[in-house]
Structures are given as C-alpha cells and as structure tokens.
Chains A and B, each alone.
Chain A
Amino acid sequence: KNQVEQSPQSLIILEGKNCTLQCNYTVSPFSNLRWYKQDTGRGPVSLTIMTFSENTKSNGRYTATLDADTKQSSLHITASQLSDSASYICVVTRKFELGNTPLVFGKGTRLSVIA
C-alpha cells in the first residue's frame, strides 16, 4: 500500500534551536519527494523537491535529505524562528499510471516555535 508516515506528529522547540522532521514512505514507483510548509489558515507552499538521484537539497535554513534505499527523508530546520511555526507535509509523487492518482500525502508534523 502506498503510504507516507511522518514523525513526530507535533513538536515544540525554542526559538533559535534546530530540529529535524522525519518522513518514511512505501510509495512505488517513486518519482520525487517534496516538502511543503503550511501556515495556519493558508494553503501549503513547496519548500524543496528531491528526485531519486538527489541526497541533499537546501532552501535557506531548510535542508532536506533523501535516502532512496531506505525510503526515508528528513527536513532539518536550522536556527528556528517564530515564523517557522507551521505544519510540514511530506508528499511523494508516484510515476504516473493512468487511472491512479500520483501524489501521496503525509499527515504532517505540526511545529511550534516559542520564544
């Protein structure tokens, strides 16, 4: 079954600290993995995308890693800011098959950064 599991479900950290969010997937065939940030009351916004051959990709203070062998990804946030408080959603894209929906969404990790 195609699934994306994220951990932890929620996380509270102090401003300025680092944190790492995890994503494990069983999606096949794999095309790419994307991390989205969803602020409260807003739609998700793409942070990074990783294809099969990529191990690490950075976007400012966000660094995503991918291990395609173990089917695991992580999102590391450095020097957290209050504005990082949001839900972070891991999304895996399947290679498109006619009649099958290609995206598999995780349930998200709710991050709260406190002063």
Chain B
Amino acid sequence: NAGVTQTPKFRVLKTGQSMTLLCAQDMNHEYMYWYRQDPGMGLRLIHYSVGEGTTAKGEVPDGYNVSRLKKQNFLLGLESAAPSQTSVYFCASRTGQTNQPQHFGDGTRLSIL
C-alpha cells in the first residue's frame, strides 16, 4: 500500500533555481493538496485540486505553481526559489465523500540557500 508518495524526500537549491515536487497517490482520490509546514506554525495550504485538470489557490500560493494533468499526480513547481521557501512540503489526498480524512505523504524537505 503506497498511499501518497512524494519525491524527492530532500533537496537543496540555490536562490533563483527552479524545481518541481512530485506527489503521486494510488487511492483514486479526487482531491489533492499541497501544504508547507514551518517551525512554530500550522500547516498552510499552498494550492489544491478538486479533480483532474483543475487547480485552485490556497492560503499561501505566491511563488508556487501547480498542475494536475493526471488524476493520480499533483505537481508543485517553484520557478525561482527564494530562501523564504525553505520548508517541509506535504502533499495530501482524499476522496470527495463527506468527512473523509486527508492522507498525507511523508514530506519533502527543501532548503534554499
């Protein structure tokens, strides 16, 4: 049971570099989410998707872009990385049914130097 898989697990970037974080789920979930988690703060929603081909902005979308070309994948892109984007990024997914939990991946630890 893979569940939600995030790649890579760790990455160090230089300011201005770009990269894409990949999230894959094998549970046929409709909804997918990208969060960031910083010390002393709760999880904050970056972008989310309620279905293939659709995306929407969350609480802190600036500096990030996303795509959901396939139902099972949700990509998070950083076009020009900044030190403020140093964080742990979590992907989650869930079904469209009411009161169902989000299933989280184990995170990508990203450092921007």
Contact = CB atoms under 8 A, between A and B. Distances in A.
A101 interface: yes
A21 to B, nearest CB: 15
A51 interface: yes
A34 B45 contact: no
Interface of A: 4, 31-32, 34, 41-46, 49, 51, 89, 101, 103, 105-108
B101 A106 contact: no
Contacts of A4: 42
A49 B45 contact: no
Contacts, number: 40
Interface band, chain B: 10 to 19
Where chain A touches its partner, the secondary structure class is: strand
B99 A32 contact: yes
Contact of B42 (A41, A51, A101, A107): A107
B92 A43 contact: yes
Given A101-B45, A101-B59, 10 more contacts: A34-B101, A41-B107, A43-B104, A43-B105, A44-B43, A44-B90, A49-B99, A51-B99, A89-B42, A105-B43
